[in-house]
Structure formats: C-alpha cells, structure tokens
C-alpha cells in the first residue's frame, strides 16, 4: 500500500463508509482503509482473494440450501466479516463494520415458478445497488479508445 497514499484523497471524514466492487478488493485493503484512514467499507470480493482467511460453506452447499441462504464468518485477526450469499449465484461480501444481520426480504423473479418470490438478503443490497448501477452505466457508455499510427 506504499504507492497508494492518494487512494482516499476525496474522503476526509473519519468513520465514513465506502461501498465498492470486487475488482481490486482484498482483505488487506479493507483492513488498511479501516486502520489507517478510519474508512469503513462494504464490498463484494472474489473467492480466490480471501487467501484462506476463513472457511465458508461451499457453493454446492449453499445451492442445496436454496435461494436466499447465506453463511458468515468473522475474521478477528483482520477485523472483517465475510459473507457468502446465494441469490442467482453465490455472492461473496466483505465488510469492516457490520455483519449480515439484520436480514431483509427482497422480491425476486423465479423462473422455475414463473412468479415473484420473497428472498432473504443480508443488508448488502441496501447500499450496493448504486455500485452495480454505476458499473452498468459505464459498460453502456464506454468510449472506444482509438489511436492512429
């Protein structure tokens, strides 16, 4: 993190919360933001970036339990909570300030039943919708980079 001193330049208030996507997310980044800058975070994280910091249920086990099931593990050493949640596919979340509770119910469309159903969700959906919307808009309006020789 020595080369990333300007990362939270625009964030001056300690105790603020940042929500971001999984592209650069690691448990070390979450801990660094919390310890050095006082910035809490909630983000999606790729399973291969957990570096064995916790043992979660496998994807197959969550799928057997059904849509809306989740499992969480708290890593006391790194002071983060890791949550695996099964919606259409398994989503892995990392948070430095809260856990999966309180669970809220959200409405999803079930292709098998051909109707809307109620699914349990950790508090992730409340805040990550803006990040997902931003990613979608960037993909829609991406400018092409052209160069001339």
Of 103, 104, 60, 110, whose CA–CA distance to 88 is shortest? 110
The residues that bridge with 81 in the sheet, in sequence order, are 74, 95
Region 18-45: mean pLDDT is 84
Span 83-124, pLDDT tens digits: 888 877 888 888 888 777 777 777 777 777 778 877 777 766
% of the chain residues with pLDDT over 70: 75
Instruction: Delimit the domains of the chain by residue range.
Output: 12-140
Q: Is residue 1 predicted with pLDDT exceeding 50? A: no
Sign of the CA dihedral running 19, 24, 27, 33: negative
Strand duo 115-121 + 80-86: pairing? unpaired
Buried b (16+ CB within 10 A) or exposed e, 89-98: ebbbbbbbee
């Amino acid at each position: 993190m020595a080369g990333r001193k300007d990362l939270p330049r625009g964030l001056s208030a300690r105790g603020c919360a940042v929500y971001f996507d999984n592209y650069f997310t690691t448990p070390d980044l979450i801990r660094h933001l919390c310890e050095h800058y006082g910035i809490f975070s909630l983000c999606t994280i790729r399973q291969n970036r957990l570096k064995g910091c916790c043992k979660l249920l496998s994807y197959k086990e969550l799928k057997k339990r059904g849509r809306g099931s989740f499992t969480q593990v708290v890593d006391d050493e790194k002071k983060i909570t890791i949550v695996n949640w099964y919606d259409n596919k398994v989503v892995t979340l990392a948070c430095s300030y809260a856990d999966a509770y309180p669970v809220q119910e959200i409405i999803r469309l079930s292709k098998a039943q051909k109707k809307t159903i109620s699914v349990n969700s950790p508090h992730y959906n409340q805040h990550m919708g803006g990040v997902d919307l931003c990613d979608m808009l960037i993909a829609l309006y991406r400018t092409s980079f052209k160069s001339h020789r």
